[in-house]
Structure 1
Amino acid sequence: MVLLRGLLIFVGLVSVLLGVIGIFLPLLPTVPFILLALFCFARSSEKLHQWLIKHPWFTVSISDWQQHRGIRQKIKKRAMVVSACSFIISIILAPILWVKAMLLVLMFLLMFFMWQIPTLPD
């Protein structure tokens, strides 16, 4: 149990780090990493969970997800465009045909998944 708690805290902290980097780096989405961190902290550390919920950078997205299970239109649109662009660049740069095909399939799966998430008005 202690090992699982430590693993969840570690994954949560790495997710927060990636989410913060995603604020400044447009190719990395922020919201999914913060939601993963929230999930991990809820099961491992009440102190970190409360810190994340109350953090001014993430409060709006977290409360939107917790209350409405959705993402605001502006954030969702940006995430989809940036994800699609990064996949397209990766597909163009990939030297192997099967890797290009795999990236294309993954891009469509991600777009379908993101499309299914309820959209909230801005």
Structure 2
Amino acid sequence: MDEQSVVNSRVLRWLLRALAGLCIGLGAIGIVLPGLPTTPFLLVAAWAAGKSSPALRRRLRAHPHFGPALVAWQDHGAIPRRAKWLAVTLMAASWILLWFSIEHRGVIGLVGAMLAAMAVFLFTRPEPAPPESESRN
């Protein structure tokens, strides 16, 4: 992403930077707080940063822990295999808890169908290529 993709409005750039900062903060809290996701907040932060601040976007993409996943998603739509399995496992656990929590089987079926659709989406995304050092072994 280059300077051309940065929005022209100063107010909108400020709002997008504030959104990026808020999402980075919520993502950081999500690392330690169960139930608060990290990844969606970081994806929104990367999008907002790309529209408002090329320097912030570069910093997010260069982050040692989150950067590789952001780069894989933004550049190739790729999701690591471990993340796919973790997401589907947590979705299944959530659905099982829902099964025992409510009696409205229609709601349970609808939620199950949505989670199944999300699982299909996840597993149809490509996986990032291994780093050069791993592919030579």
TM-score, with structure 1 as normaliser:
0.72
Q: Please, which runs of 5 or more residues in structure 1 have no aligned partner?
A: none
Counterparts of 1:6 and 1:64 in 2: how far apart (Å)?
27
Tell me: higher relative CO, structure 1 or 2? Use CA pairs within 8 A at least 6 residues apart. Answer: 1
Counterparts of 2:15 and 2:94 in 1: how far apart (Å)?
29
State which of 101, 106, 122 in structure 2 corresponds to 1:114: 122
Larger radius of gyration: 2
Which residue does 1:40 correspond to in 2?
48
Counterparts of 2:58 and 2:81 in 1: how far apart (Å)?
26
TM-score, with structure 2 as normaliser:
0.66
Letter of the 1:93 counterpart: S
Counterparts of 2:22 and 2:124 in 1: how far apart (Å)?
26
Instruction: Report the 3-state secondary structure (helix = DSSP H, G, I; strand = E; otherwise coil) of the residue aligned with 2:65.
Output: coil
Which residue does 1:17 correspond to in 2?
25
User: 8 Å contact 2:61–2:68 — kept in the other structure?
Assistant: no
Percent of paired sites with the same residue = 30
Moved more, 24-33 or 75-84: 24-33
Which residue does 1:61 correspond to in 2?
69
Counterparts of 1:85 and 1:12 in 2: how far apart (Å)?
30
User: Structure 1 residues 9 and 102, CA, compared in 2 at 3 Å: closer, same or farther?
Assistant: farther
Aligned-residue RMSD, C-alpha:
2.8
Q: Please, which runs of 5 or more residues in structure 2 have no aligned partner?
A: 1-8, 131-137
User: Structure 1 residues 5 and 88, CA, compared in 2 at 3 Å: closer, same or farther?
Assistant: farther
User: Structure 1 residues 87 and 13, CA, compared in 2 at 3 Å: closer, same or farther?
Assistant: farther
Letter of the 2:71 counterpart: S
Counterparts of 1:100 and 1:2 in 2: how far apart (Å)?
46
Letter of the 1:73 counterpart: R
